[in-house]
Amino acid sequence: MNNPLLKITNLELGFNTFQGEHKILHGLNIHIKAGERVALVGESGSGKSVTARIILGMFDELTSANFSGDILFNEQRLDLMTKAQKHSLRGKEISMIFQDPTSSLNPTFKIGQQFYEVLRTANPKIKKQAANKIAIDWLHKVAITDADRVLNSYAFQLSGGMNQRVMIAMALVNKPSLLLADEPGTALDVTVQAQTLNLMRELVTQENTAVLFISHNLGVVREFADRVYIIYKGRIVEQGKTHDIFDNPQHPYTQALMAAVPRITGGGIPEIDDTSERYYDPIFIHKGGEEIGDPV
Amino acid sequence: MKKIFYQLTSNPMSLLGVILVSIVILSAIFADFITPFPEHRGAIVDFSNFNQPPHWPNIFGTDLVGRDLFTRIIYAYRISLILGFVVLVISVPIGVSIGLVAGYMGGWTETILMRITDVFLSIPPLVLAMSVMGLLEPSLFNGMMAVTIMWWPWYTRLVYNLTRSETQEGYVLAAEIIGASKFHIIFREILPNCWASIITKMALDLGFVILIAASLSFLGLGVQAPTPDLGSMVAEGGNYLPDSWWLVIFPALAILIAVFGFNLLGDALREILGGEE
Amino acid sequence: MNSVVKMLLKRIGTSLVVLIGVSMLIFTIARVIPGDPARIALGPNASIEQIDKLRERLHLNDNIITQYGYFIKDLSNGNLGISLYTNRPVTTDIAQFLPATLELVIFAGFFMVAFGIPLGIIAAKYKDKWQDHSVRILALLTVSAPSFVWAVILMLLFAFFLPLFPVAGRIDDQLLLPDNITGFLTVDALIDGNFTVFVNAIWHILLPAFALSLSGIGQAARLTRANMVETYKKPYIEMAQAFGFSAKRIATKYAFKPSLIPSLTIIGLDFAAMLGNAFLVEAVFAWPGLSRYGVQVILRKDLNAIVGTVLVISAMFLVVNIIVDLLITYINPRIRLAKGQ
């Protein structure tokens, strides 16, 4: 049972443009074990959000996109699945949390209705009342006390932090084994973000849900992840256990990233100029952070 | 300009639009040379060859007094295009100026101008044009007047909405701070940012003016005989259905083709220039 | 609920102001035209005395503001004056002809929504696939011809070449009309329990209503598609997809409802524009509605009737807009709830 929950091997992605193929990802290797919390760290445009969407199979529609590489989830090849098969995994086996919770909830339907729809994807025959009970239960788990009011509200009537909790509850209610968190709560203010992330960490530990945590925020990553992949321009440049990377960054790009973290205020990192040729140095793998099956 | 032309011709639908519009415009301009019987645009009677189905040389057949239908349709295009052109040339500057002023000045100016615009917009377009037309004498000139009176408010509304959002932009504030005159801000700063939407709407509207003008003359409230007109041709032919089908089908299709062409072109321009719906 | 009532009252208030504006506008246009309406109404053989008498009755010798005062005074008593064409009160004429037009427009409006919106949804769901291209071309074609063109084409195809539908009128001549209660033949037939008349009336109305609705169908499809394509780019639709909502439920519910809000205003305007286009379709199918009356009074410069007809149609237009606003308030929780505060 040492097989990982998710194993991505040599993932490449390119777009056909009129100037030829434009490569986004250059052979990513990533694995996540059951219940493990793994972070994918990089600046915007490095290809990290794209990776999450490929795992969810939400890139198929684009005819101009080419991929190659294996994606193994629960012993199944995601990349060979039909659209319908992939669709049946979403929201049930694999779930996702987005950057801005308020705009990720439908403004014309009450939270309760959206919760009901999420539950229906796992159990199409579920009755509204039963769904309501489960929803209230889960809202309690994310520390929402007046669950009834929240279920009867629209997203724009609730605070960002409240919506983020709702999203977390919705993402976990069908007990997925993998949660993709794409810059969760970046749109929220810092203290609210920290609160909701703590909640999320507790819940995924309880439920033994694996998390792929996509972020540019090193402070948050340090708190949240067991293991870290640093991604730069579609390549993994450094990987290893969280404390190894933070204590002893080896790759020049990682070092630059660390140096750029504002010391006092926290929050985002400034844009890093890609002036250094050394950012293209080969990958550095810390001990204990190797890909499974790789020769050490 | 070259780039726009390239983009227009690279997509099959917009290319079709360019072709249809070119055919309509060129045939209207060169009607004297391409029609077999140019004299048939006027009051001519040929009872030896009346109400005939399509045959050579009358490829669309002949009308009730023996005139070549093809010739009359091409000349009707000429009239329609002139009408559409004149209507837009008059109504666009009026509508645009009112919209700019109302949108930028705000306050009472805005309230009064926009309420007046609302009054015009709350009469169904065809009904307004009909009543104006009916109260005047039906003629080409009055037809233009009637359609112009119903057309300008749509530009006022479009430009008013654009101006309102442009007024929030930094460049307007910057111009105000350096003390530019209101006239300068409205016509030199804001107006250039509205052109894309205005031009797109004009391309679409040329088709719709033709459509409304045809509707008016269909009801007998437009261009009068013997001037050829697509709407009145359909109306006359309607009395002889189904036997004399060509009297109706060819003018009807002629309207459809012209307006379809302008719509395709307008849609393509909207995508290229990024104008508003 | 209170907030909705408030909104409604406000809308009715502004509509009344606009309606007064319409009356001034049309009244002014009607009075400043060249030519003596009294002379035109009475014909070339009328004596000067007769003309003077009519001018007196119509207050044509007073200045225009006084004339408008008389008009408003009559209007507040529900009186639009006497039609010079039919010699009956204009209100009676309109009451006789309007229901047939309204029935036609309502059927056409139903077609517009019932066909246009689903076509738009299909096009958006299959964006850039053949379904999308077909809907777009079809929609653009339908808006590219006035409704009288569609009316004659449909008539030629489905009444003459394939005699599936009647060529003209609201009902077969030999059938006995039901009691005139609403003026809507279909409704009156149902109230009467006369199923034969009901079916016959439906059979007559289908082709003209469809011809009238065609460009509306195209507009509704284009708008729905455009707004849905925008909605599909929204994060909450990505979220719905990521959470495994079925593509069909997204298309018909979660992407549809937010897209409907911006579409509705324009669909409402198109519906209202049918009140004008109905004139064209009625002329083709000899539909006994307001069209023939409207065109006749316009050609005869029957001032009272013209002003009355335009005023009534504009009132209908404003009523439709108010209904659409109410619908939007109902659908868009953001507006509904914001007003409650």
Q: Is A92 on the interface with C (CB under 8 A)?
A: yes
The Cα angle at residue B237 between residues B233 and B243, in degrees rounded to 5: 150
Cα(C112)–Cα(C106) distance, rounded to whole angstroms? 10
Closest CA to B203 of B164, B255, B247, B261: B261
Q: Is B184 on the interface with C (CB under 8 A)?
A: no
Contact A233, A171 (CB under 8 A): no
Whether residue C148 sits in one domain with residue C59: no
- C-alpha distances in angstroms, C338 versus A102, C261, C322, C329, C333? 17, 16, 19, 10, 8
- Give domain status of residue C271, yes or no: yes
Six-digit token string for B78: 């000429």
Question: What is the CATH topology of the domain spanning A6-285?
Answer: Rossmann fold (3.40.50)
- Give domain status of residue B6, yes or no: no
Contact C71, C307 (CB under 8 A): yes
Residue B224 buriedness (CB in 10 A; 0-12 / 13-18 / 19+) = middle
Cα(C49)–Cα(A243) distance, rounded to whole angstroms? 109
* Reported ipTM: 0.88
Q: Which domain holds residue B111?
A: 75-273
Six-digit token string for C115: 């066909």
Closest CA to C317 of C271, C282, C253: C271
- Give domain status of residue C173, yes or no: yes
Whether residue C322 sits in one domain with residue C229: yes
The residue of chain A with its CA nearest to that of C127 is A61
Q: What pLDDT sits at residue A275?
A: 58
Cα(C36)–Cα(C336) distance, rounded to whole angstroms? 53
Q: What pLDDT sits at residue A1?
A: 47
User: Which of C42, C76, C110 lies at the terminal end of a domain, its last residue?
Assistant: C76
Whether residue C38 sits in one domain with residue C121: no
Whether residue C72 sits in one domain with residue C149: no
Contact A32, A226 (CB under 8 A): no
Give strand ranges (E) for A52-160.
65-73, 76-77, 94-97
Closest CA to C25 of A158, A20, B122: B122
Best to test chain C binding among A103, A104, A167, A186 (most C CBs inside 10 Å): A104
The packing angle between helices C303-331 and C256-285, to 10°, is: 160
Six-digit token string for A239: 């990987």
- Tens place of pLDDT per residue across chain C (341 aa): 567 788 889 889 988 988 999 888 888 887 776 667 777 777 777 788 888 888 887 777 788 888 888 888 888 888 888 888 888 999 999 999 999 999 999 999 999 999 999 999 999 999 888 999 999 999 999 999 999 999 999 999 999 989 999 988 888 888 878 878 888 888 888 888 888 899 999 999 999 999 999 999 999 999 999 999 999 999 999 999 999 999 999 999 999 999 998 888 888 888 888 988 999 999 999 999 988 888 888 888 788 888 899 899 889 888 988 898 888 888 888 877 764 43
Residues contacting residue A144 through CB under 8 Å, at least 6 positions apart: A150, A162, A165, A166, A169
- Give domain status of residue C177, yes or no: yes
- Give domain status of residue B57, yes or no: no
- Give domain status of residue B33, yes or no: no
Region of residue C172 (phi > 0: left; psi between -120 and 50: alpha; otherwise: beta): beta
First-residue to last-residue Cα distance in chain B: 22
Contact B83, B205 (CB under 8 A): no
- Give domain status of residue B254, yes or no: yes
Residue A92 buriedness (CB in 10 A; 0-12 / 13-18 / 19+) = middle
Q: Which of C239, C244, C258 sits opposite A92 (nearest CB)?
A: C244
Query: Which C-chain residues 238-277 have CB contacts (< 8 A) with chain B?
Result: 272-273, 275-277
- Give domain status of residue C90, yes or no: no
**What is the CATH number for C181?**
1.10.3720.10
Show which subunits contact C, needing at least 3 CB pairs below 8 angstroms: A, B
Give strand ranges (E) for C140-275.
none
- Coil, helix or strand for B245? coil
Q: What pLDDT sits at residue A214?
A: 92
Best to test chain C binding among B115, B126, B241, B259 (most C CBs inside 10 Å): B126
Confidence of residue A295 (pLDDT cuts 50, 70, 90): very low
Q: Dihedral of the CA atoms C58, C63, C68, C74 (nearest 10)?
A: -40
Q: Alpha helices, DSSP H only, in chain B?
A: 2-10, 12-29, 31-34, 69-105, 107-121, 125-135, 140-167, 170-177, 182-184, 191-218, 230-238, 246-273
Residue B181 DSSP code: -
Maximum alpha-carbon separation in chain B: 77
**Phi, psi dihedrals of residue A108, rounded to the nearest 5°:** -105, 5
Question: Any contact of A with B, at least 3 CB pairs below 8 A?
Answer: no
Element (H, E) at A22: strand A20-32
Cα(B195)–Cα(B203) distance, rounded to whole angstroms? 12
Whether residue C162 sits in one domain with residue C247: yes
First-residue to last-residue Cα distance in chain A: 20
Cα(A252)–Cα(C1) distance, rounded to whole angstroms? 63
Contact B128, B246 (CB under 8 A): no
Whether residue C106 sits in one domain with residue C27: no
- C-alpha distances in angstroms, B159 versus B94, B186, B197, B272? 11, 11, 8, 19
Closest CA to C139 of C217, C228, C225, C213: C217
Q: How far is C73 from chain B (nearest CA, A)?
A: 21
CB contact under 8 A, C156 and B13: no
Contact A254, A238 (CB under 8 A): yes
- Coil, helix or strand for B50? coil
- Give domain status of residue B241, yes or no: yes
**Phi, psi dihedrals of residue A22, rounded to the nearest 5°:** -110, 115
CA atoms within 13 Å, Cβ hemisphere of A41: 32
Pairing of strands A227-232, A37-41: parallel
Q: Where are the domains of chain A?
A: 6-285
Domain count, chain C: 2
The identity of residue A56, as a single letter, is L
Q: Is the pLDDT of residue A63 over 70?
A: no
Q: What pLDDT sits at residue C341?
A: 39
Q: Is C33 on the interface with B (CB under 8 A)?
A: yes
Six-digit token string for A88: 């049946």
Best to test chain A binding among C236, C256, C341 (most A CBs inside 10 Å): C236
- Give domain status of residue C89, yes or no: no
Six-digit token string for A151: 């279920």
Q: Which of C30, C149, C297 sits opposite B252 (nearest CB)?
A: C149
CB contact under 8 A, B133 and C26: no
Whether residue C154 sits in one domain with residue C48: no
Q: Dihedral of the CA atoms A39, A43, A44, A46 (nearest 10)?
A: -80
Q: What pLDDT sits at residue C340?
A: 44
- Give domain status of residue C171, yes or no: yes
Residues of B in Cβ contact (< 8 Å) with C144: 207, 211, 256, 259-260, 263
Q: What is the DSSP string of A43-57?
A: -TTSSHHHHHHHHTT
Closest CA to A214 of A199, A228, A204, A233: A228
Q: Which of C236, C243, C257 sits opposite A118 (nearest CB)?
A: C243
Domain count, chain B: 1
In the sheet that holds A210-215, the strands lie side by side as A94-97, A178-182, A210-215, A37-41, A227-232, A235-241, A284-285
Q: Which of B132, B219, B252 sits opposite C295 (nearest CB)?
A: B219
Grouped pLDDT means (10 residues each) for chain B, 277 residues: 77 89 94 87 83 87 88 93 93 95 91 90 85 79 88 92 88 90 91 89 89 90 84 89 89 94 90 66
**What is the CATH number for B230?**
1.10.3720.10
Q: Which domain holds residue C113?
A: 96-340
Q: What is the DSSP string of C75-89?
A: HHTT---B-TTTSSB
